[in-house]
Chains A and B, each alone.
Chain A
Amino acid sequence: MAIDCLVLGAGQEVGKSCVVVSINGKRIMFDCGMHMGYTDSRRYPDFSLISKTGDFDNALTCVIITHFHLDHIGALPYFTEVCGYRGPIYMTYPTKALAPLMLEDYRKNMDRRGEDGQFTSDHITECMKKVIPVDLKQTVQVDKDLQIRAYYAGHVLGAAMFYAKVGDAAMVYTGDYNMTPDRHLGAAQIDRLQLDLLITESTYATTIRDSRYGREREFLKAVHNCVAAGGKVLIPTFALGRAQELCILLEDYWERMNLKVPIYFSSGLTIQANMYYKMLINWTSQKIKETYATHNAFDFKNVQNFDRSLINAPGPCVLFATPGMISGGFSLEVFMQWAPSEINLITLPGYCVAGTIGHKLMSGKPTKIDLDKDTQVDVRCQIHQLSFSPHTDAKGIMDLVKFLSPKHAILVHGEKPKMATLKERIQSELGIQCYCPANNDTVTIPTTHYVKADALDAFIKSCLNPNFKFSKSSSVDKSYSGSNDSKAIPGLQVSDERVAEGILVVEKGKKAKVIHQDELLHMLGENKHEVQFAYCFPMRTERLEKTRSEDLPSADDLLCGLDKCTLISLLSTKLSNELSDGNIQDLGEQLQVESFCLSICLKDNCPHRISDSVQNDSEVVFCCCSWSVADEMLAWKIISIMNNYTLPLEGRLQVHI
């Protein structure tokens, strides 16, 4: 089994996100975005790679859209209405609500520029009819095998990460997400899932951002200082997202500081969007959700509608106006009026497309800006650049990957060199196989496959009863540690072996079974065989110089006279000195350590004896030992100890006893 991951867009670039994933026979398209930088065919993903014949309905099980940004949804009307996909499309409720606004706005702009929009207003409406909305953490059974579930992603209102599971293979596609909350949206939130694959965005693959508080502080300070000095503040923004965030920030500050300076919203999209925000309160941050009962944070108390006549009204004010980059429209109109006064302030968004006025203002501080041949604007006002971003930074990506710990990760939606750096980090620091495919590449990764097995009674019973064991050794335990390399474990360890004791039996043509070890013999109808090792080896004895007046007896006499018990107890003392662990039992004529058993051998031709000639038989005592397979290591250890040991007799014997 494997997951095939075909990257149609946002592979090693930002724009037109589109990934088609085939898992266990199901094919899901995640996101269907457009590239804003192109106007030719490169604008849309190359859908022909999905199906040569154009029969998308059979080629795809479903389409999943993560959020309403055009680089994630822009190509959807084209795909459904022009290319003719008629299968199910899933997105969250807010995305479904807000996406038509975005698409319509885009289409209008295209029309205005006289470009071929490739889809019409009707297309958008028709397309939206096919959408099935989902809620957070709602598990949707797309068909018999495919389950999907949305998780909160932050980023923009309604953004979600999607979990998809077919059979045993599971994966998550993050879309864009933010791991830190902002003023109106929370941080991404997901469960600890068992994943084969994680496809994550990597916009900031190498950047590590500071706390957002610093940015907020700078912004508030600039705005406050400006209005305190009687100036006017122009905040050009996009309609959705940033405008609301900044407005909440200002509203809160106004409230706290008891400021009475008016805040205006230029009419249009922003106000409509505010209405949606008010309704979709459940998708915002914790704070807004908590206070919702008493006060809806999007019911801005200090915000009023702006009227063109107010542009030149005296006194300080703050104005939100679209579009964001002062590329035209109302924000340009206001800019022309306000820029010449040095007490006014213009805040710029973090990113401005080259060619816009925003871009000109960002690159150095020009004193004059030529709008066209005839108009020139004196720029004397203050300029403050915002650096808010709804994307997570490199640390956030790492944190998410670490938390989810998937078996494989794929990076999309980023710049190639930075993605390569992040890929290296993920592989080296987290030990997770990582890929960053280019557009139209396919990555294949193996998946888990579970075999269902029946369990027999005895095994189930043993599973019910806890059976934990404590081990108190510093030995290396391979069975225990989950990772491949064995690790040394500390002194006290606990393990519960009830599941480990099961035995998997797979018989040909039958379903696999898990049985308890006691059941095994019965099931196979076999008798129990045990492999026993035996070895008889000589031990040197040492004859000391006579220390007493008595005559030394000969070795044979010694063996008879000195009873075996003494020898055994002698050996046992020796062993207990040498072996730190192991339970040495002195059973009189035998010595027992686990299954290892040693006795003095008096037979002349013991079958286990390896008879290489020993220099003097009379100085040798034979030890006969036996052990079972499990204790082989231990046995050889003991034997090697014995081999290096000379049995002291007589004098030293006294010392020992």
Chain B
Amino acid sequence: MEQLVMNSIEQSLDNNQPLSFQTLASIRSLVINPSTSDSTLSSVLNALTRSLQLSRDSVFLHHVVKLLTDLSSRCPHLSPVAIDLLRSNSLFTSSDSPRLVGESLSALVSLTSSQNDVDDARFVSLCLSPSVSVRLWLLRNAEKFAVRDSVLLAVFLGFTRDPYPYVRKAALDGLVKLCEKGDFDDHDVAQGCYFRAVELLCDAEDCVRSPAVRAVCGWGKMIVVSTEERNKQDLADAVFIQLCCMVRDMSMEVRLEAFDALGKIGLVSEDILLQTVSKKVLGMNKEKIYKPIEGLEISASGAAGAFVHGLEDEFSEVRMSACYSLRTLTVFSLRFAGEALNLLMDMLNDDSTVVRLQALGTMHHMAISNNLKVEEIHMHRFLGTLFDSSSAIRFVTRKILKLAKLPKLGLFKLCIDGLLGNLETYPEDEVDVFSVLFHIGRNHGKFTVCMIEEVSSELEPAFGGKLGFDSTRVAAFLVLAISVPLSHEKDARGVPPRIFSYAVTWLGRISHALSDLMSQETLLAYLSECSRSSIISLADFKIKDALPTVEGDMPSHLCSDVGSPVRIPLWQQDGETSDHHHTKLWSLGKSATHAEYELGEHDELRKSLNLIFRKVKDLWPLVQLGCTNEALKAIRACKEEVASYTAESPGSAGAVAFTLQYLRITKLLVAVWEHLLLTKKLNPYGVGKLELLLAKLDRRLREINNRFIGLSKGEELQIMDLIVVACLLRLSKVEIYCYETAMKKLSSTISHVEFLHKEGSIEPSHFMVEVKKSLHEVGSSIGGNTCKPLLFKKLVDSFSFEQFVLCASPRYLNAELEVPGNDSESPLPFISGIPASIPLVITLHNISSDNKLWLRISMSEESTQFVFLDLNLIRGNNEVRKFTFVAPFYLTPKAVSFTLRVSIGMECMGETLHLVKTFGGPKCELTYLSPEKEIFLCKSTKC
């Protein structure tokens, strides 16, 4: 059969006749048939090649293209020949039929990954040809060709005017993609695209309106970023309102896009946000007209009731999207959060389970970010979800309750009643309910005590020494009661000791419920300890500290950034992210040498610290939008919060200090970032300020790098990321950098990172990979002496702030200096010209004798003197050393009195000092371990 077909082909070719369609059809059957031999196939290819010279008929060529595609996908070893054929003049450049060119192009694209077939001019000319299908195909596959972005932009923008709706749609999709790439700095371009996208919001076709919404969102954000600070807010508001106008569209897809987009705008002013939850136009918004760009006007009333409509939409997808978008927006305004909560509470009556879950998820998110203010009128509805037949819903509700902080006893009782009811209706929830009760009890020590007093009669053994029949209820109260000594509130005590001994009888069930908090032995020890005396001894604190993290209420569960989760049911997403989080934690922890042993300790604190890190990470988009002040404010608040932890738990000073240091660094990074954003006008004094900031940042980074030991490899790597960013920031500013030093530092850091990667077998972050690659390019292309600020700027842009996960307890290298009895009233005596002795009481924390410590004693910048502290001569363990050291000061001036500044510094290896001024001083940069101490000296009156 094969032979037969081949013969007929040969015959017609020999006669110089083009192949008939029938022959082509039989060729196709040969190609498709899996049993056709390879030799036949290659002769088919030959025949096709020959036949191409005979006919230029476009229908014929069309078939040939199809056959070639099939042939080369069938046997890959023939594909190079086929591809060459496709590329050859006969097919590819036949200008008479753009459709054919399109076909061969798409065949080529599907067969090869090379992009060199089409250049800018060819791409444009093909797009402009009359064939609509080719145009559409090219627009949709534009990114597969090596076409410059600027050309693409022009083409896409132009085709938003095409009369064919699908071409308009493809063009808009292209514009959105370009916008996401974000390489366009030109304000005019962004405005032009935005304007066009806004026009297309009124398109007659649904399929155009929905990408138009995306384009408005994308380019809207772009113009917000590219405008100066004082107009930002208004612009962002205008874009937001523009999107709000689309939430009443008749097409579900468009509405869905609109709500997805609303959640992405970010910075929106409170007035507008409040308007979105009220269908009536609020007074303050009545006359407000925004003019984002020339020719566009939009009234604030357009935002009226956007979320009200969204939450009562017919389609559950839209309702979910609206719920989801609320979560990002509630962060900005407490008032709005309150109003939104009213709506969300109503969503708990929704007929779709996924929507109810999403609403609860948003509430949980609000609870984590401290925006959840549940009022009494909501309680009925909210606690109603504890009786919901869906266990996922009950679970999320309880998760919110774990975080709840209730202001009134009444509310507290309602909650407890709700949980008890839950337990009664769904006994299978017992484990989780007990766990929640325990948490609630710890959060509300005083209320719990009141509650227990009220129900104490129920808890007492009934006649005959047996506990009541309603045992689960009693067990629940007992769980609540035993949480009191571990309460977060001070002086919350007063649970009679005998309660604890009752609890022992339920040890099995209770410890099962609290298995994630403590082991049965610990629980037993704890209960017996508490049952002995009502005064809580120190031992309890140990237990308190020993409470490990509760996996279940790791706050990152719900708020993890998954693009748009609207289409994923929540529980699924929930599980995924928590898994992801878990593996991340695990992989980071794995490399830690001793972290595993310590994992059990200080977990409560670490949990809250990780929460802080998460907050910081969530702030980063704000910074990128240019809302520096807001971000700084938030970081400051975080700092205050962290600072308050110090007093609470003495054993974890290291972690707290680390977090504080990290926050300081972030703050500086934010400040520096602001300068980076203002690309256009950097005034000269700005340069000075930036230089100052960068120097400060370097110092802080050096501190965090050197003053903490016991960090895991993963943690260290994250710090390295920051150091690299700092270097890049320096390099990207032409005005500032000292290229040599910064480059040197960069490469040394990178090599250190590489070393860490190898040792810990951890995947480097995406950013690091980028940096390494580019650095390699810089190094190889030139001797390394030319500056490439643009390259570095791009690298900096690729930096994404990742959440720091603290999983070890770092130890903090710290020193305290004291000169007993010295102050300005009672100075130390000295005789000018003769060395003075300064008796210093020094306390060192966590410093081993391997560290090289120096005392820096300075009177002024010029007269600074370093004294080496030999730790080998000083006894004591590495944990804490306290000793007295008499430091000599040689350069006493001729003065009646003077002050000295003393501080302790540690040499950090690997960072050589450039400005060697002092003789016999340290060889490397110093990291200062203590604040500067001022010492007063006065001329001795004795002589």
Contacts and interface: CB of A to CB of B under 8 A. Distances in A.
A211 B311 contact: yes
24 contacts: A190-B250, A191-B250, A209-B279, A211-B312, A213-B347, A217-B345, A255-B389, A256-B388, A257-B384, A286-B314, A287-B351, A395-B304, A403-B249, A403-B250, A465-B128, A470-B158, A487-B295, A488-B294, A490-B293, A491-B188, A491-B191, A492-B188, A492-B193, A494-B157
B162 interface: yes
A398 to B, nearest CB: 9
Given A213-B311, A256-B388, A491-B192, A468 B161 contact: yes
A184 to B, nearest CB: 10
A489 B295 contact: yes
A495 interface: yes
A375 B380 CA distance: 40
A494 B158 contact: yes
Contacts of A481: 295
Nearest to B192: A492
B161 A494 contact: yes
A220 interface: yes
Nearest to B344: A213
A187 interface: yes
Contacts of A464: 130
Contacts of B304: 395
B192 A490 contact: yes
Contacts of B855: none
A490 B309 contact: no
Nearest to B390: A256
B850 to A, nearest CB: 63
Interface residues of B, number: 57
B586 interface: no
A614 interface: no
B863 interface: no
A216 B293 CA distance: 43
Given A403-B250, A490-B293, A492-B191, A213 B349 contact: yes
Interface of B: 127-130, 135, 154, 157-163, 187-189, 191-193, 195-196, 204, 248-250, 279-280, 293-296, 304-305, 308-309, 311-316, 343, 345-347, 349-352, 380-381, 384, 387-390, 425
A499 B280 CA distance: 43
Given A190-B250, A403-B249, A472-B188, A287 B279 contact: no
A251 to B, nearest CB: 10
Contacts of A492: 157, 188-189, 191-193, 195
B315 A286 contact: yes
A248 B296 CA distance: 45
Contacts of B312: 180-181, 211-213
A258 B162 contact: no
Given A209-B279, A287-B316, A487-B295, 18 more contacts: A186-B314, A189-B250, A213-B346, A213-B347, A213-B350, A216-B346, A217-B345, A248-B351, A252-B351, A256-B390, A257-B389, A287-B314, A403-B249, A468-B161, A490-B191, A492-B189, A492-B193, A493-B192
Interface string A466-477: 101010101000
A-B interface, 4 closest residue pairs, ranked by CB to CB distance from nearest: A492-B192, A213-B346, A491-B188, A468-B158
A246 to B, nearest CB: 13
Most buried by A among B160, B196, B314, B350: B314
Contacts of A248: 351
A631 interface: no
A465 B349 contact: no
A208 B388 contact: no
Contact of A217 (B189, B204, B346): B346
Interface in A237-266: 248, 252-253, 255-258
A214 interface: yes
Contacts of A191: 250
Contact of B314 (A181, A192, A493): A181
Interface in A168-213: 179-181, 183, 186-187, 189-192, 208-213
A192 B250 contact: yes
B715 to A, nearest CB: 45
Contacts of B345: 217
Contact of A208 (B135, B250, B280, B390): B280
A496 interface: yes
B161 A256 contact: no
Nearest to A216: B349
B349 A253 contact: yes
B279 A395 contact: yes
Contact of A465 (B129, B160, B350): B129
Nearest to B314: A181
A192 B250 CA distance: 8
B295 A192 contact: no
B718 to A, nearest CB: 42
A221 interface: yes
A299 interface: no
A541 interface: no
A214 B316 CA distance: 18
Contacts of A186: 314
A496 B343 CA distance: 46
A258 B250 contact: no
Nearest to B135: A466
A209 B309 CA distance: 11
A285 interface: yes
B314 A465 contact: no
A116 interface: no
Given A221-B380, A286-B315, A488-B295, A466 B159 contact: yes
